[in-house]
């Protein structure tokens, strides 16, 4: 049986859900990571920044935009040291301005992906998988990057079956 790991970033707090601002107790991507774990078995590693992003949605979009312009690498509370124990690594995150938050890249740059299977998972509000797959090809040198899964944030609560289906097909 394959050994699966989900590395994810997910932001709690105010978010846009189908055109409305809502306060989320649990981020969309975190829910998707849990669906994958329930479907096929996986360890979860949550990327958390030392300095939290603003809970206010609009402010957060500004901070994220600037980070992307600066190609920033925010400091993380904890870094995963290696992925030696795993065959399949899912990289799950929200779409922030067309790709993963810079915090995700801050972790990916510390890992050796040679010989691993990597799967992009992106939650979004319209951009779909965006640049998730092409960016993982850049950041996960030597990995085989599989099919991406894109889930619209607003639909996450109703998407457990679709996520499980994708996981069972891809994380074998």
Ligand X SMILES: Cc1cc2nc3c(=O)[nH]c(=O)nc-3n(C[C@H](O)[C@H](O)[C@H](O)COP(=O)(O)O)c2cc1C
Residues at the contact surface with ligand X, assessed by CB under 6 A: 10-11, 15-16, 24, 27-30, 57, 60-61, 64, 94-98, 123-127, 153
CA dist., res. 107 & res. 91, Å (int)? 10
141 alpha-carbon distance from chain centroid: 18
Show Cβ contacts of residue 96 under 8 Å, excluding neighbours closer than 6 positions. 61, 64, 68
Least distance (Å) between residue 167 CB and ligand X? 17
Task: Tell me, letter by letter, the H, E, C secondary structure of 67-109.
Answer: HHHHCCCCCECCCCCCCCCCCEEEEEEECECCECCHHHHHHHC
Four-residue CA torsion sign, 57, 63, 66, 72: negative
Q: How far is the CB of 114 from ligand X (least distance, A)?
A: 28
Distances (CA, A) of 102 to 93, 107, 138: 10, 9, 14
Give whichever of 122 and 140 is closer to ligand X, judged by the CB atom.
Answer: 122
103 or 111: CB nearest ligand X: 103
- Distances from the Cα of 167 to the Cαs of 34, 122, 149, in angstroms? 11, 14, 9
Q: Which is nearer to ligand X, 74 or 94 (CB)?
A: 94
Instruction: Please report how close the Cβ of residue 122 comes to ligand X at its closest, in angstroms.
Output: 8
Q: Give the shortest CB-142-to-ligand X separation in angstroms.
A: 28
> Given the complex with ligand X, which of 4 and 123 has the nearer CB atom?
123
The residue assigned the tokens 């950041």 is 139
- 29/107 with CB nearer ligand X: 29
Closest residue to ligand X, Cβ-based?
A: 153
Shortest Å distance, C-beta 163 to ligand X: 13
């Amino acid at each position: 049986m394959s050994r699966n790991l989900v590395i994810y970033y997910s932001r709690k707090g105010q978010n846009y859900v189908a055109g409305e601002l809502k306060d989320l107790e649990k981020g969309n991507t975190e829910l998707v990571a849990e669906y994958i774990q329930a479907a096929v078995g996986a360890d979860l590693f949550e990327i958390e920044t030392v300095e939290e992003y603003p809970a206010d949605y609009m402010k957060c979009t500004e901070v994220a935009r600037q980070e992307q312009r600066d190609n920033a690498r925010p400091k993380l509370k904890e870094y995963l040291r290696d992925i030696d124990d795993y065959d399949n690594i899912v990289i799950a995150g929200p779409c922030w301005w067309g790709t993963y938050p810079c915090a995700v890249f801050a972790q990916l740059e510390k890992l050796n992906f040679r010989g691993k299977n990597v799967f992009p998972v992106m939650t979004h509000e319209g951009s779909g998988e965006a640049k998730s797959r092409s960016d993982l090809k850049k950041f996960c040198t030597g990995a085989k990057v599989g099919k991406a899964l894109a889930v619209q944030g607003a639909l996450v609560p109703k998407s457990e079956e679709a996520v499980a289906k994708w996981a069972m097909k891809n994380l074998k």
